[in-house]
Amino acid sequence: MKMKKLAFHVFVFMLLGKSLSFAQIQTPQKNPTFQNFSTVSPSKSYSSTPGNNTTAKKSNTYGSALQTKNAENTTYASPDNIYNTLNKNNFLLTSSSSIPNKSYASIEAVHAVLNDVKQIEPSINYHFPSLQSKLGYNNFESAFNELSNMLEGKTPLDLKRATFITENAYFGNQMNYQDFSTSIKEMAMIVRLKMKEKNLSIKDNDAILYMAHQYFTDTLNVKLPIQEKAITTYPKQYDFDDPFGYDKPSNVFVTKLMAENTGQCKSLPLLFLILVKELGGKAYLSFSPSHSFVKCKDKNGVWFNIELTNGMLTSDSWIAGSGYVKAEAIRSGIFLDTLNEKQIIAQCLVDLAQYYSWRYGTYDDFALKCLNKAIEYHSNNIWAIQEKSDYYTMLFKYVSEQLHYSSVEQLKHDPKAWELFMQRNRMYALIDGLGYQPMPETAYTDWLKTLKEKQQAQKHQQQYFQFSKIIH
């Protein structure tokens, strides 16, 4: 069993290492892409005025330029209408036609201009180009269908499976679920063996939370039954090198944490919750700005937070004291609320949309489908709403670049573009109304460091004393 776990860890480590080669065989869309794009957040400019592009859309004057003498000076709206008019009554305009050569030459001129029009002014595309033909697309579609079935009650909720298929889609379906599941089961086995050593009930939720916390934050020596040897596990560390996955998206994955024993505030709480569920326990996920953590309730009904980035036990007041959690955000439930298993699986759909955009360097309607389904089952999921805001920001940018508008008034003449513009602004207003305030990365890093301050250490000791009384 130990060799199987090691083999899976080695396999995942190799897969993480070669994920870039998989990316290289993708051909990202040249237009649109995320190049030079920074998402617009409520704390930044939410201007209702379009960009500063001063290139006005050129007007077309095809009518007078394309009239043939045989057309009796009739004005037509477009070259297509001229072509259709010249071909009415079933006349066939070919080189062998009985129509005089001058008229045939005229229709050739129409064809030439029509081709020029297609090159100069292509039809406006109000949707992102579909990525269905891209290598690996079907893996994302399959993951979406499986996650949707869980949310709709067609299949049982399974956080372990949901996490795996979400990450596996990004890897092009190259991982093995049986190996992944076996590794989780072996983690649970180690925790249960340690609980028995300490005479803790394996059915007591407080005991499960306590020992799962020990497994994540301390070095454990566990004697294997019947065998004359022991297993040593080491604490999981915070990965400061690339905590947001900018250099390598898979750095935020649970599979990376399992392979390298290092993670961050996304993968650490998620693996903890998977382990607790495997042990038969209960805990919850919770969000704060740029962060997620675990919320638990002991047998006395007292809530406490497990901060797995460094193993501390914290309070809501300390998290709110970071300065970036508004009262409105707590009232709206986007921060410091508890997420159940269904809502966490809805969050997997948000992750799937993000991994999809990372893989291909752009969006299409698939990403929007994921986000809408996530919001259907977790209506105030701030990350789903924010990702949807980014989607409409990018889509409006994509459409507006085709239109070459120079003012809001000009934009109003195109109802579809105007609706995209308004939808983008509605998303911005919703995010503001929910009380979201982004936390700068530098502030987030500084905030994490405060966990080591004396006052916070004292708070940890107080909480930990209550937490550890279960073993006495």
Residue pLDDT, tens place only, 196-216:
999 999 999 999 999 999 999
CA dihedral 101, 104, 105, 107 (to 10 degrees): 170
Residue 442: the pLDDT is: 73
Chain segment 283-325, per-residue pLDDT in tens: 999 998 888 999 999 888 989 999 898 888 888 887 777 667 8
Q: Measured between alpha carbons, how far apart are the two ends of the chain, in Å?
A: 32
* DSSP-assigned letters across all residues of 103-155: HHHHHHHHHHHHHHHHHHSPPP--SPPP-TTSTTHHHHHHHHHHHHHHHTTSS
pTM for the predicted model, two decimal places:
0.73
pLDDT in tens, 50-107: 343 333 333 332 222 233 333 334 343 344 554 454 454 444 444 444 444 445 555 5
Lowest mean per-residue pLDDT among 47-51, 229-233, 312-316, 361-365: 47-51
pLDDT at 117: 46
Signed CA dihedral, 118, 119, 121, 125: sign only: positive
Mean pLDDT of 321-339: 85
Instruction: Give the pLDDT confidence of 439-469 residue by residue, as tens digits.
Output: 776 766 666 666 555 445 545 554 555 555 5
pLDDT digit string, tens, across residues 96-144: 444 444 455 555 655 565 555 445 445 789 999 999 999 999 999 999 9
What is the spatial distance between Cα 67 and Cα 63, in angstroms, rounded to a whole number? 7
pLDDT at 34: 38
The residue extents of the domains of the chain are: 62-120
Write down the pLDDT at residue 467.
58
Residue 224 per-residue DSSP state: P
Report how far Cα 385 is from the mean position of its chain's Cα atoms: 11
Pick the residue with more confidence: 362 or 7? 362
Give the dihedral of Cα atoms 232, 233, 237, 241; nearest 10 deg. 80
Cβ distance 314 to 460 under 8 Å?
Answer: yes
- The pLDDT score that the predictor gives to residue 105 is 55
